[in-house]
Chains A and B, each alone.
Chain A
Amino acid sequence: MAAAMKFAKSHEWARPEESGLVTVGISAYAVEALTDLVFMQLPEVGRHVKAGESLGEIESVKAVSDVYAPVSGEVVEVNTALPGALETLGRDPYGSGWLVRLRPADAADMAALLDQPAYDALVKSQPH
């Protein structure tokens, strides 16, 4: 896992790339908590989102959940293979299970996210 990866309280991760883009996914905890995933809807390339806005939706056997943008920016790439291979999210949530790449609008957004220890503490505090 890249050292620079950070997390939103809503369980998305964001990883700055050397290209300046930010790769976004959802955490292993969120994937496991949702159980069997059956459908995912991702945004179109070119869409502008603000941090905290819905970026897409994911459906499991029991629940539909929004996926929120951890940072503001423009969607420049979408993992189009993912909705057809949702098992990838369980196998490799921080790698091939990425959702989108954003061109960030404000570098300060990353600073507002949780680092790994803080996110781990958040997960431990969740009702079981």
Chain B
Amino acid sequence: MTLHVWWDEPADGPCNMAADELLAAEAFDRGTICMRIYGWQPVTVSLGGFQRGVEARAEQSIAGVAIVRRPSGGGAIVHGSDLTYAAAVPKTHPWGGRPQLLYDALHETMRQSLGAFGVEAALWRPAETVVAPAAGDRFFCFDRRSSGDLVVGGPGAADDLGHKVMGSAQRRLAATVLQHGSLLVRRNLDVAPAASHPGLDDLIGGGFPAAAVRPLVTAWIAAVAGALGTEVVEESGRFQDEQLVREKAREFASERWTWRR
């Protein structure tokens, strides 16, 4: 059992969602964990699988920004200054059972990796004394908290909530689990302040340089492999044939899908 990783060039929302759906099929075919690391061009807001379209249209802070709907759950994310990943595992994989397994595994390994870069982060857990923002009543993912979210302290952070710097959500398919996640590297200045959440570079004393992101992710992937006791296979080239991705992307670009709710 190996960990296969693709580093993809930035793409638009529909192509990224299409590639991730193909990644889930790849994980099933290979019978092991597959990951894709990627960016977005242009800046895009991804909506959670069942977020209301009317709320997205009413959110002035993202007016004019490209929108795509993810197949996974959770809240809206502004992509462009984050590091996005997709991880897919067969349901028979050790992390393919309860949703929290894969969520915690990838966030805990990122916590460890951030620690090696001098960033102290924690996996947020709800305490009885803390009333977390309810799951469905905040539009943006980074305004929500759920168990296992990766948080750091910093100016403006409520003591019990911290600043969320990494969140993930899943689509549980018939035979595989597809998890999307986003590590916020820095504030996105292409959107209004209400949609622009502080990232590592804004929260860490001395900042978090862009040049450190790839080494961080490389360390994270090694930590994921270490947790599984397996080896990393870094695949060369882009994940999947571009034409195949573009054909599949039509569904994710359709009005029917984007405004399904």
Q: Do A and B bind each other?
A: yes
Tell me the dominant secondary structure on chain B's binding face: loop
B interface footprint on A94-120 (CB within 8 Å = 1, 0 otherwise): 000000000000000000000000000
Query: What residues on A are CB-neighbors of B226 within 8 Å?
Result: none
Q: Which of B165-185 contact A (CB under 8 A)?
A: 168-174, 177
Distance of A111 from chain B, by nearest CB (Å): 21
Report Cα–Cα, A62/B174, bound state, in Å.
17
- The contact size tier of chain A is 20 to 34
CB contact between A127 and one of B49, B101, B146 (< 8 Å): that residue: B101
Say yes or no: A10-B174 contact (C-beta < 8 A), given A63-B169, A64-B71, A127-B101: yes
Distance of A53 from chain B, by nearest CB (Å): 10
CB contact between B95 and one of A52, A60, A65, A127 (< 8 Å): that residue: A127
Say yes or no: A61-B171 contact (C-beta < 8 A), given A127-B94, A128-B98: no
Report Cα–Cα, A90/B173, bound state, in Å.
22
Report Cα–Cα, A62/B75, bound state, in Å.
10
Report Cα–Cα, A47/B236, bound state, in Å.
45
**Interchain CB contact under 8 A, B73 and A63:** yes
Distance of B227 from chain A, by nearest CB (Å): 14
Query: What residues on B are CB-neighbors of A38 within 8 Å?
Result: 50, 73, 135-136
Report Cα–Cα, A63/B174, bound state, in Å.
13
Name the segment of A18-26, A29-37, A74-82 touching the other chain.
Answer: A29-37
